[in-house]
Amino acid sequence: MRKWFSFPIREGDASRQAHCDFPEGTYERECGKEGFFGPASHMYHRHPPTGWSEWEGPLRPHAFDTNRVETQGTSPMDAPVLLSNANVQVRLWRTDTAMSYLVRNSDGDDCLFVHQGEGSLYCDYGHLRYTKGDYLIIPRATSWRLVPDEATTLLMIEATHGSYMSAERGIVGEHAVFDPAVLEHARIDDSFKAQQSDNESWQVMIKSRQQLNRVTYPYNPLDAVGWKGNLTVFRLNWRDIRPLMSHRYHLPPSAHTTFVAQGFVICTFVPRPIESDPGALKVPFYHNNDDYDEVLFYHQGDFFSRDNIDAGMVTLHPCGFPHGPHPKAFAAGKKHQKKETDEVAVMIDTRMPLDMGDAAKATELTDYVYSWRTPSDAE
């Protein structure tokens, strides 16, 4: 058995409570373990922790524009890799054409976030409509295909050799954040039955150990007449997420966890009121990435903690340095200029370091590391 050392200490000038009522002229930085769940200390600095003037070396924060990613091939299994490690693979795929074949991922569960588009998903379990802003959870080794009604862009997040589970919600109960009743599952409806066929060739593209297999059937394998159980494909739209909030305290990102997998979590930032207490921090606090790599995919809205970030862009902050709001956002937060956020973003926090794929490297915004400079710093 083991446990963290625990001995709360106070040195010098410090706030009585984290993220509130800082000593005059200071900037708070949280140094924590295990992604906001372990021991933590809060330091109060004279200068912003992100006030670097130069940066040499590969640890730097990264940003890249997925709108410029060139998707290759006709299959989601061919989608280019943006980021990956042993636990997760993040890819991007665009399509405007109905899939005349099936795909099956034998390497792990898939979470498909619909950045753009709407249409139908057909799978072993039946038929499910999808629309912009949906998460689609597809269990490992499930056969599926898309029939888009309009051009569709998917952020594909594979839980490699793992599964997606619900986050523990503790004292707030199982109906907090989103009520399980809002989840919609695939159904054996008339649309599903109509696509079944007994006398035409269908191919299934199976990804296993990062290699593709092509299996041909003389009929459509999506031929189920019924099923029962509690494993299925389901959808959750961000509009059905009701975030935990506090008007007196800026909650950490972990409060917005949507899915938990082996070695990483997926969080969803959705519109919410901004803290109204005069002494409460109004923007994300400066903090160290001491144990997790942190990825944000920006879906839509005005991203209140970042400058010059548009929908479809991704940021990666590797483990090992402090980060936080950009200077303009921090200044606006102190003035309480905005009363609520309107951003929607998907966050992926990984326990093991992420590697950047060729698609990310080709679309990187190399000056992002200097985006924390104030106007006087840049002169």
Residues with catalytic roles: 250
CA angle 106, 316, 307 (to 5 degrees): 135
Cα distances (angstroms) measured from residue 19 to each of 99, 143, 288, 294, 378: 49, 47, 14, 20, 28
Separation of alpha carbons 243 and 257, rounded Å = 10
Element (H, E) at 111: strand 108-116
- Tell me the backbone φ, ψ of residue 313, rounded to 5 degrees: -90, 160
The partner residues of 208 in beta bridges, in order of sequence, read: 211
Separation of alpha carbons 136 and 113, rounded Å = 6
Strand order in the sheet with 211-217: 126-130, 119-123, 143-148, 102-105, 202-208, 211-217
